[in-house]
Amino acid sequence: MKKFFYSIIAVALLAVSCEEWEPVIGNQGDPAEPAYETLTVNTTISELKALYKGKPLHINDDVIIGGQVTSSDVSGNIYRSLYIQDETGGIEIKIGNSSLYNDYKLGQWVYVKCQGLVLGNYGGMLQVGAEDPTGEYETAYIDVKSLIYAHVIKGQKGTPLAPVELTENDVKVALGYSYRSPYFGMYVTLKDLTYSHEIFALLYMDNYEDKKASSNRLFLSDQQWGVTTWAMSQNKMKEYLLSGVWDSAKIGNSGDYNYGTIGDADNLGKLMDNAAAYAVSQYFKMPQGTEIQIRTSGYAKFADVAIDREIINGAKIDVTGILAYYNGAAQFTLIDIDGVKIKY
């Protein structure tokens, strides 16, 4: 009998000592810092940009670029994009995830294995992205986890880069080169901008309807339209609608103003129902008159922040952020609202 009893205990002990008993229900110990790689860069960012010849470039060669991260999406103004910069210029990598700042730190080295990716342009800005088989855009977002991990390699952390101070002349030259300019996509400071009391925003009667239909579009442009914030969240849009400052704005593409104005009760009701966050371009001028559109997303955390009264009253500002290009104009993307400094 004892034998039987002991054999049960023996079986129990044997079972308990098995390797598969390693529990999976608790903390398994702090993982070590990942081994950040350092790749050998064989192409500079400006060399890469120079490869672009007016249509999407499918990169079939073993092109590796590297640069330090200059953008952060923590404020939400930059969204689904990462800007990296080497000593020759900056470029946008279309990593289609949100909250990239958690994984790619300012100043951190990032290497992009471009083979299999596409260099394309959007409104004159060059971007590295994935192939868009629909042809709707020149590039698609790199948003498959395995695709990101295969092409975008995290390198050593580093000190965040200081902005490059650009003169108005630099901006003019850059505009002349358009997408080939190394400055577009770079982290820069522009000085002594003044407010132009002019905005541009494209709103839709219904975001879910056809965005190309004239009847669904309305443009707020050529004046300030009472918009005193950098952009507008959904709630802020409702405030603007109700305040009446847009009542006279016409619905439709220019030359097709056949759909009434925002102030019409039907239109106002529809817009209130379909209110959404919208990006706004606030127009500024450099001292010699070069136009800079500071464009801010309606989803930026500072979208509803009022533009300082002093700015509206004419105070000069220095802005720090990413210089961009859109259809012939210089656009400026603030990384956060602290990129705006009023000069006294």
Least Å distance, CB 8 to other proteins, is: 5
Q: Are 129 and 118 within 8 A, CB to CB?
A: yes
Distance CA 316, CA 284 (A): 10
Does position 305 bind other proteins by CB under 8 A? Answer: yes
The answer to whether the beta carbons of residues 157 and 36 sit under 8 Å apart is yes
According to DSSP, the residues that pair with 292 across neighbouring strands are: 284, 330
Of residues 193-252, those binding other proteins (CB under 8 A): 208-210, 233-235
Among 19, 30, 266, 273, the residue binding other proteins under the rule CB under 8 A is 30
- When asked if residue 337 is in the footprint of other proteins (CB under 8 A), the reply is no
- Per CB under 8 A, the segment of 39-47, 120-128, 139-147, 177-185 that binds other proteins is 139-147
Two structure tokens written together for 134: 């629909």
Q: Which is nearer to other proteins, 132 or 192 (CB)?
A: 132
Other beta carbons within 10 Å of 49: 25
Which residue stretch of 87-95, 98-106, 237-245, 267-275 sits at the interface with other proteins (rule: CB under 8 A)?
98-106
Phi/psi at 322 (5° precision):
-100, 125
Contact status: 147 vs other proteins (CB under 8 A): yes
Which listed residue (26, 54, 289, 328) binds other proteins by CB under 8 A? 26
CA–CA distances in Å: residue 70 to residues 101, 230, 281 = 10, 22, 22
Return the SS3 of 267. helix
| Residue with Cβ nearer other proteins (93 or 166) | 93
Query: Applying CB under 8 A, which of residues 29, 54, 255, 289 lies at the interface with other proteins?
Result: 29
| 133 makes contact with other proteins (CB under 8 A) | yes
Q: Which stretch binds other proteins (CB under 8 A): 41-49, 83-91, 239-247, 296-304?
A: 296-304
CB 290, CB 171: distance < 8 Å:
yes
Q: Does 134 bind other proteins (CB under 8 A)?
A: yes
- Both ends of the chain: CA-CA distance in Å? 97
Q: Interface with other proteins includes 2 (CB under 8 A)?
A: no
Question: In sequence order, what are the beta bridge partners of 265?
Answer: none
Site for other proteins in 39-58 (CB under 8 A): none
Query: Where do the H-state alpha helices sit in the chain?
Result: 2-16, 45-50, 145-151, 168-177, 234-243, 265-273, 309-312
Q: Which residue has the tokens 């909250």?
A: 99
Q: Which stretch binds other proteins (CB under 8 A): 101-109, 174-182, 217-225, 319-327?
A: 101-109
Which three-class secondary structure state does DSSP give residue 300? coil
Distance between CA atoms of residues 6 and 101, nearest Å: 60
Report, in Å, the least distance between residue 38 CB and other proteins.
17
Note the residues at the interface with other proteins (CB under 8 A): 1, 4-5, 8, 11-12, 15-16, 18, 20-34, 74, 97-99, 102-103, 105, 130-134, 140, 143-147, 149-150, 157, 208-210, 233-235, 301, 303-305
